[in-house]
Structure 1
Amino acid sequence: MKILNGRIRSKREHILRITFLIITSILLIGVLPLCKIKLKDKSDDELLKTAFKICENNLILDSHIDWPDKHLQFPEDISMRTTKGDFDLVRAKIGGLNAALSVAYIKSDLDVNESRVLVDSIIELINNYTIIYPDKFAQAKNPNDIKENFKNNLLSLPLCLENGLPVGNDISYLKNLKDRGVVYITLNHDKTNQISDSNFDENRKWNGLSPFGLEVIKEMNRLGIMIDISHSTDSTVFQSLRYSEAPIIASHSSCCHFTPGLERNLSDTLIKAIANKNGVIMVNLCSMFLDSTCMKNCGYLLNWYHSNGIDMDSEEGIEFALKYGETHQIKSNSEQVVNHIEHIIKIAGIDYVGIGSDYDGMGPSQPIDLPDVSSYPTIVFELLKRGYSENDIKKILSGNFLRVWNQIIEIAGS
């Protein structure tokens, strides 16, 4: 009888637990939309204040800023408000930026020796800021460094290499880059190189990765250097996913969904594949990668610069772009940026997207309301308007990238 009564009580308790879970689930289903509605019902002023507070209190990482290249063209002290470019400490503080992955951009027409000299110069340039202003800037070689610098109110300047050209055919050079703090390498840029094919180059010499490129992938895995496939052909991306033991990143790429035919962006298939390998896609803010009309008109501008031998950052180049922009759309906006973020979330999930602005690397193509590194609150404001929680926004601002980076380091150490 005791056994029977015990079974009856146990059954009743089981039924009560299930009933409680069902009621709780129903309540949560009802409450969560109400939370979103409540958030959306706030005024724009209230949401903007919340956006600034989120940016002030949480770590923001931008995975691709070309300020060193801009600095080489127009030397200015980035610890102060600069007159040119999209990046400096003053505007970074306004925007809440805590980690600016600082890019050593290597032009594809250099030879290996020239490119290595340039790498040395840029690394020295970046590191000098951490030496001259130790109370403002700091090096960062891993996510723990980033988090520690954030606690100490220091702007992290991790080193990155855009274009694997300087590696040449010497695999040991990768160890040299790792030891000096380079955290990711973009395999190529606008031309096919000794590692892989570029999506800007009609010459698809390797049909993806070269034989040497396969060695590079394995060595980067071993060293814990992140593999960046922005600028790579689709074949290069698929092969990188196949042969890499670690996740890969797209440090500054957006969605082909909004720019059909632009291989520089990522197809839905590639977005899913990168996410399935636990990688991350960092959305590029360049207007020509966000919107088809901007893509067409900015393409015209780039062809005009090239055919006339004019630098887009020169006075003549800027003046022409401004004049052309009066009658042709060349600038996107924060809504379209968040459209790309939402598309990746729809395709892959909230854990696989971040921001890789390409500031100082996009010429006159900054979105109209996102002119520089002071603009991250504007993106957060748009996310809040669409009902995203602070926890989800934290993932987009840095959490997703740091998670992937940590996993890459763990795989290298295993």
Structure 2
Amino acid sequence: MMQSQSKWSRRELLTTLTGAGAAMMLNPVSAWADRINQDEVDPRVAAIVAKTIGVDTHNHIDVPFSAAEVPGPPIDLASEMKRSGLSAICMTFAVDRPELRNPGDAYERFKNALASMDKQLVQNGLKRSLNMTDLRAAHTKHQPTVIQSVEGGHFLEGHLERLEEAYERGLRHLGLLHDNDASVPLGDVYTNPAKLGGLTAFGAEVIKECNRLGILIDLAHANQEMVVAALKLAEHPVIISHTGLDTQLGQNENMARMMRPRLISKEQAKIVANAGGVIGVWTHLADSPLEYAKNVRALVDVIGIDHVCIGTDTKLTPSYRPPSAQDGPGGGQKNERIGERTNLAWQDQKVGFYYTVIDAMLKIGFTEDEIGKFGGGNFCRLFDASTSGHR
């Protein structure tokens, strides 16, 4: 089982690490921005990008949690998506950081974050895809699109009816857990001591409600006991959107040790795949595009090409910092690292993310058909199964 008593979140680990190698250099992202040049794209790669629906199943967008700050500074999500080559992202936010202190805080953050995303999408000329019909139509029109995702059921606070409210606001992808337990927990988080017996009674209710509404279930951050219990209730295959195989640890020992509890074993991967599920491979612990492609290959060798997908756990747009964080020590523009931004996942990256990944996958022998499945086809199968027949 994937358990650890580490108190560190994934982002805290990335922020505190130093000397983490080329993929996590301390250089500001802006210093590398001019290196992305779509003119350098191989025509064969461009052809695959054009005909496949590329989806990052776990891509964070930082937005305000305070009503006074909605919608936050303008973000150029549309341009970043077009640069990436991706057709869609599962546009994700989590509300459990900073620490939740008061009843109702999680719900308030959730509502404000969605309000911000609504306005940012309008400003970018983008729409949410609620089903595969929407996703296919956007791809046909060469129009980037997003699938609304929330990481962690903290906003529910034990109120099941809030899930339908979220559905009406466009939620179609729900990660049941994140780093911290919700005030009414849904299950055991894999980096915390197991204490809930896996899936809780409320967690079971949430899964059933996702089945009823038509929401894709994401079991990232769940320990094995919870995964097994959840699979028994899920009416459709589930996704674990962002992780990596625990044999692929990269070159940095400190990073590998800290990220190890967040990785999946071959046995666990087979449990999800045997239930028809799909597992996302993140860019962490891969020091280059070729290393990333090799990490994908390693997981494919265990569970097959029909059960893997992209799940970077990165951001297309800059981190948001509230006005209160702009002054004093550490204030001002955050110095983001190479590896945190999707289109700058690696130091030597010269073209958008999906272009870079396809090029690397071709170099190690993946076929165009296999790339199409990994790039988005497998996710689309799950998304269609969960949303088909619903509004």
Instruction: Please report the TM-score for the alignment, with normalisation by the length of structure 2.
Output: 0.73
Contact 2:71–2:119 at 8 Å: present in 1 too?
no
Mean Cα deviation higher: 108-117 or 361-370: 361-370
**Aligned with 2:356: secondary structure?**
helix
TM-fit CA distance, 1:223: 1.4
Alignment of 1:243-322 (within 5 A): 243-259=233-249, 262-287=260-285, 290=286
In 2, Cα distance between equivalents of 1:70 and 1:339: 37
Report Cα offsets for 1:226-253 as digits up to 9, x if no partner. Answer: 1111111122212212232221101111
In 1, Cα distance between equivalents of 2:119 and 2:349: 27
1:195 paired with 2:195, answer: no
1:349 paired with 2:304, answer: yes
**Aligned with 2:189: secondary structure?**
coil
TM-fit CA distance, 1:387: 2.1
Q: Name 1:340's counterpart in structure 2.
A: 295
Moved over 3 A (4+): 45-49, 69-76, 361-365, 369-373
More relative contact order in 1 or in 2 (CA 8 Å, sep 6+)?
2
TM-fit CA distance, 1:352: 0.8
Contact 2:289–2:356 at 8 Å: present in 1 too?
yes
In 1, Cα distance between equivalents of 2:70 and 2:352: 22
Aligned identity (percent) is 24
**Aligned with 2:314: secondary structure?**
coil
Contact 2:96–2:180 at 8 Å: present in 1 too?
no
In 1, Cα distance between equivalents of 2:359 and 2:64: 28
Structure 2 letter corresponding to 1:364: R
Report Cα offsets for 1:80-120 as digits up to 9, x if no partner. Answer: xxxxxxxx332321221221211121115324511111111
**Aligned with 1:201: secondary structure?**
coil
Structure 2 letter corresponding to 1:241: L
TM-fit CA distance, 1:210: 1.1
TM-fit CA distance, 1:69: 4.1
1:225 paired with 2:215, answer: yes
**Aligned with 2:149: secondary structure?**
strand
TM-fit CA distance, 1:342: 1.0
Which one of the candidate residues 349, 353, 359 is aligned to 1:381? 359
1:121 paired with 2:112, answer: yes
Which one of the candidate residues 75, 79, 89 is aligned to 1:78? 75
Structure 2 letter corresponding to 1:276: N
Which one of the candidate residues 369, 386, 389 is aligned to 1:408? 386
Contact 2:63–2:116 at 8 Å: present in 1 too?
no
TM-fit CA distance, 1:334: 1.4
Contact 1:369–1:375 at 8 Å: present in 2 too?
no
Q: Name 2:52's counterpart in structure 1.
A: 58
Gaps (5+ residues) in structure 1?
1-44, 80-87, 291-331
**Aligned with 1:231: secondary structure?**
coil
Q: Name 1:184's counterpart in structure 2.
A: 173
Name the count of aligned residue pairs.
Answer: 314
Structure 2 letter corresponding to 1:170: H
**Aligned with 2:337: secondary structure?**
coil
Structure 2 letter corresponding to 1:77: P
TM-fit CA distance, 1:225: 1.1
Flag the structure with higher helix content.
Answer: 1
**Aligned with 2:196: secondary structure?**
coil
Contact 1:70–1:360 at 8 Å: present in 2 too?
no
Structure 2 letter corresponding to 1:254: G
In 1, Cα distance between equivalents of 2:132 and 2:200: 31
Larger radius of gyration: 1
Gaps (5+ residues) in structure 2?
1-38, 250-255, 320-335, 340-344
Contact 1:62–1:355 at 8 Å: present in 2 too?
yes
Alignment of 1:356-395 (within 5 A): 356-360=311-315, 364=337, 366=339, 367-369=345-347, 374-395=352-373
Contact 1:254–1:283 at 8 Å: present in 2 too?
yes
In 2, Cα distance between equivalents of 1:69 and 1:334: 29
In 2, Cα distance between equivalents of 1:214 and 1:370: 45
Contact 1:112–1:167 at 8 Å: present in 2 too?
no
Alignment of 1:146-165 (within 5 A): 146-165=135-154
Report Cα offsets for 1:204-240 as digits up to 9, x if no partner. Answer: 2202111211111111112121111111112221221
Contact 1:102–1:159 at 8 Å: present in 2 too?
yes
TM-fit CA distance, 1:56: 3.3
In 2, Cα distance between equivalents of 1:373 and 1:139: 26
- Relative distance call for 1:197 and 1:350 in structure 2 (3 A) is same
Mean Cα deviation higher: 67-76 or 147-156: 67-76
